[in-house]
Structure 1
Amino acid sequence: MKHLLITGAGVDRSKGIDFPLANTLLGGITGFLKTEEGKRIDEVLREMLPNMRFSFNSMIKTAVDKIVTREPDEQRKMVKRVQEAIKGLSEDDRIYKHGMLIIRLFNKLVTIAENSNLDEEIENLIREVFPNKADDLIDSDSILDIHKLSLSDTFKEILKITLRLGLEGKSHAVAEALGAEMLNIELLLIEKFLGFYNNKSADIKSYIYISWVLWAYLVFKQKEVLEALSKKRNAKMPFYGKLPTSLRAITLNYTSFLENQLGKENVIYFHGGLAEYVRMDTRNLLPIEDLNHLNVSEFLHSTIKPSIDVTNNNIEEQIHIIPSLVPPLRLKPILSYKYIELWAKASEWVQEAEHIVIVGYSFNSADEHFNDILRNLHFNKKIDIIVPEATTEYFKSRIEKIFEIPANQFDRVLVQGKEALKKNNIRLIKAIATDIDIDKLLNS
């Protein structure tokens, strides 16, 4: 088949679907857990994971306590994100002032870290004064162990209050920007998933809880979208509803919207999907039937809870069951042998395609496994990449790493009236998913 569609998270951000991105998921999840259904799900999960101490609200304290362990570059990244969030706001705006407060606090932290560095002049003086012991004395890049410092209560409380605004589901640009760096569920999943490798029971139980809560929330959101659509006469699913049904597609998303349009046989869920779960000791991949009509709390209670065992003192004898959602690790874990087949099939589809359309995918380094497929198999193919940030220097630098096209080699063109960049057979189209007629693009 000559055409191939690849979809990323940006597609599910389309108006009418409105799925949150990974770095803003926690606000939605904590809000969901306050609903009656969410409370039932939380109760079932805690019953099947005795002595599991994790809570999303406790994440704030942990994140704040860890802030001093972050390198200055990471703290600058937080400053930059907050600066972007308040750009364009009036200086009299309360959110603008909130942002400036956060920026100045973090800048002071960065300044302390930077000013404590051993510079060349100090190093040379140490070597002159203590020539025989210099190498032993210079065992650090800093005169302070910044990681052992603690924040004042003032700084801590300001951060906690700000982060809580994000978890409460309130629209607050600064809280969202800070939360994206400090309360990112993908980073949390990575941290806890490592428990399966180092046999840390607390991390394993936390991962099981977090992953099932995430799964339940995504199932809830998917149902919400489909139910809202069903109430509109002759309504089509945004973006998905206009796709030609003969198309093959690879998705980096978990949702089943693509499958509903194209059929299961024409879709590869590269990172897993909502309709399967994994038993970790046997690596069996098991189906979840009729997902869109599933009573989630009942499914967890009657199917998952009786199957899990985290009480055996020997962790290797325990039975761990998790949703089939591949964690966002750069080195992807093999949840089941079927993923080896799946990823090989994805490579085949990319290899066979003559025209590839990539929508809403940002080529993150966490997806390097998939990026590498494109890196090695893109030659002599027509490739259209549709993202709002397509023409930015940052995105072009990512593209250079995959397709080896220097940022200054692109020419400006228009595609369906949208600004785009073109070099050889590759076009970067500045647009959101619903701006472009995919059928027309494939046949152009």
Structure 2
Amino acid sequence: MGDKLLILGAGVDRTTGIDFPLANTLLADVTRYLDGPGKSVDEALRAMLPGLRFSFNNMIARAVDKIATRDTHEQKAMVQRVQEVIKNLPPGKENVHKHGELIIRLFNKLASIAEQSYLDDETEALIREVFPVDADDLIDSDSILDIHKLSLSDTFKTVLKRTLKIGLSGDRHEVAAALGADMLNIENLLIEKFLGFYNDKPSDIKNYLYISWSLWAYLVAKQKEVICTHSGKLLPFYGTLPKDLRAITLNYTAFLQQHLGDSTVYFHGGLADYVRMDTRDLLPIENILDCDPATFIREIIAPNVDVVSEDLRQQKHVIPALVPPLKLKPILSHRYIELWGKASEWVRNAQHIVVIGYSFNNADEHFNDILRSHPNSKIDIVVPEATSEYFLSRMEKIFGTAAAQYSKVTVNGHNALQAKKVRLIGVTAAEVDVMKLFGA
């Protein structure tokens, strides 16, 4: 069994019939859950966290206020995302297209102000000529305008706020989703608030507890819904996996362990555990597949949380065992050192590795490095964008193989690219036969 290793990313849980959202749309789904079927979860968390001021809707105003402080390249990335979306809009979406054009125009004006403020070579030369002695003291910045201190007009703010609120509503709006993918990314929010545990900020800690347990509750409820829908039937993708595998997942859902049992490593933690932050104990949640999130928070979590004391050392915090997506992984519990060590050992010992639904994001650099440091395995990578220019450039950073070194091949009838021991197969998880892939 040890010669075959399966690695799963978020794309697998996007399979039809499972339909979990990706991280960049999670916040909208969590918000709708808390406003609807998860209202009792919101009530339980606010009772547990007296004085909590945080809400996902109020977060929009803060996100908009920070727009002017973003670097030009970040603003341009937002523009490119919206441009890509409106370019691929189907017929009948003229209003959404116009909405996208408006957003692009506003951001381009902001970016042009930032670019024009840079100190050009000619201006710098003139400063040095006029003030030859103390020019270095005068030139203390590469800009003549502090873009970070600019205040956006009400027009700009209102357009952005209304667009983002559409993204948190139940309506499908491609431009709002593209903008929210960056400005309202729940993973970025978790990273920002998790730092409160390190710099002793009680408000950030309280916000992290609320956000992380809200996310946990939504995922548990969604997981239960999927399992109920497929009761008595094979679960899409997971139900077809061969049993003689070891597997590492970067997802939180219990679907993999339900199928393969102990032959699994949950690299980013999972829904079935929680962590007490002062002792770093990793504690199990019994019967996670039948768990009612609001009841569990009220009866188990709330008695173990105390955020009232002014002295942080007297407070008690327990958080879901969901490892925040930081490039530098925080050690929530010593158990994760053991799990990451086991994952590295499994990668090192595997002769054939199949990676499905994982896009090698920069936030997962810790895991990427494990794959990078064990280059002797045969590796198949299955993801829809596997043969795109962007993905090939990512592969060059991971495996050091230039795009020009890949040759076109077919693998089990699918178009693919191959260089040395790496094959890139551009299909979804639902389209691939894992058993055949390990045999190919």
| TM-score bucket (shorter structure) | over 0.9
Aligned with 1:298 (options 295, 298, 303): 295
Letter in structure 2 aligned against 1:322: I
CA distance in structure 2 between the aligned counterparts of 1:79 and 1:268, rounded to whole angstroms: 38
Task: State the Cα deviation string for residues 102-160 of structure 1 (Å, max 9, x = none).
Answer: 00100000000001110000000000011112111111111111111111111111001
SS at match of 1:383: strand
Q: Residue 378 of structure 2: which of 371, 378, 382 is its match?
A: 382
1:372 positional shift: 0.6
Query: Please, which runs of 5 or more residues in structure 1 have no aligned partner?
Result: none
8 Å contact 1:63–1:183 — kept in the other structure?
A: yes
User: Does 2:216 correspond to 1:215?
Assistant: yes
The question of 1:259 aligning with 2:260 is answered: no
5 Å-filtered alignment, 1:22-101, equals 22-35=23-36, 37-89=37-89, 93-101=94-102
Q: For 2:35, what is the secondary structure of its paired residue?
A: coil
The yes-or-no answer on 1:432 pairing with 2:428 is yes
Correspondence 1:401 to 2:397: yes
Indicate the SS of the match to 1:103.
helix
Q: Which residue of 1 aligns with 2:105?
A: 104
- Is the Cα contact below 8 Å between 1:91 and 1:97 reproduced in 2? no
The separation in 2 between residues aligned to 1:317 and 1:418, in whole angstroms, is 58
Gaps of 5+ in 2: none
Amino acid at match of 2:439: N
What SS class does the counterpart of residue 332 from structure 1 fall into?
A: coil
In the aligned structure 1, how far is the partner of 2:431 from the partner of 2:233?
A: 17
Number of equivalenced pairs: 438
The correspondence for 1:235, drawn from 217, 233, 239, is: 233
Match of 1:410 in 2: 406
Post-superposition offset of 1:92: 7.3
2: CA distance, partners of 1:124 / 1:377? 51
Residue aligning to 2:271: 274
Decide whether aligned partners of structure 1 residues 365 and 421 sit closer, same or farther in structure 2, where only a CA change above 3 A counts: same
Q: What is the correspondence of 1:164-183 to structure 2 with a 5 Å cutoff?
A: 164-183=165-184
Partner residue in 2 for 1:326: 323
CA separation in 2, counterparts of 1:23 and 1:29?
12
349, 352, 363: which one aligns with 2:349: 352
- Deviation string, structure 1 residues 322-368 (Cα, Å, up to 9, x no partner): 00000001100000000000000001111111100000001111111
Q: Which amino acid aligns with 1:261?
A: H
Q: How does 1:152-163 map to 2 (within 5 A)?
A: 152-163=153-164
Partner Cα separation in structure 2 for residue 88 and residue 308 of structure 1: 47
Q: What is the CA-CA distance between 1:34 and the residue it aligns to? A: 1.2
Question: How far apart are 1:38 and its partner, in Å?
Answer: 1.3
Q: Distance in 1 between matches of 2:241 and 2:197?
A: 39
State the distance in 1 between where 2:307 and 2:234 align: 44
Q: Which amino acid aligns with 1:370?
A: F
In the alignment, is residue 335 of structure 1 matched against residue 332 of structure 2?
yes
Q: Distance between the aligned counterparts of 1:332 and 1:361, measured in 2?
A: 18
Q: Does 1:127 align with 2:128?
A: yes
C-alpha separation between the residues in 2 aligned to 1:316 and 1:92? 55
Give TM-score scaled by structure 1 length.
Answer: 0.97
CA drift of 1:88 comes to 3.1
8 Å CA contact 2:412–2:436 kept in 1: the answer is no
Q: How far did residue 91 of structure 1 move?
A: 9.6
The aligned amino acid for 1:196 is F
Work out the CA distance in 2 between the residues paired with 1:359 and 1:295: 30
TM-score (norm 2): 0.98
- For the Cα contact (< 8 Å) 1:273–1:324, is it kept in 2? yes
Corresponding residue SS for 2:160? helix
Per-residue CA deviation, residues 351-410 of structure 1 (Å, 9 max, x unaligned), is 11110000000111111111110000122x111000001011111111111111111100
Runs of 4+, deviation exceeding 4 Å:
none
CA distance in 1, matches of 2:417, 2:223: 34
**What do the CA deviations read for 1:11-56 (whole angstroms, capped 9, x no partner)?**
0011111100000001101110112x41111111111111111110
Q: Structure 2 vs 1, CA of residues 203 and 282 (structure 1 numbering), >3 Å: closer, same or farther?
A: same
Q: Secondary structure at the match of 1:274?
A: strand
CA deviation profile, 1:178-229 (whole Å, cap 9, x unmatched): 0001000000000000000000000000001100000000001101111111
Q: Any conservation in 1 of the 2:355–2:380 contact (CA below 8 Å)?
A: yes
Farther off after superposition, 332-341 or 395-404: 395-404
Q: CA deviation at 1:275?
A: 0.1
1 CA distance for matches of 2:375 and 2:307?
A: 45
Q: Distance in 2 between matches of 1:210 and 1:155?
A: 28
Task: Return the alpha-carbon distance in structure 2 between the equivalents of residues 236 and 107 of structure 1.
Answer: 49
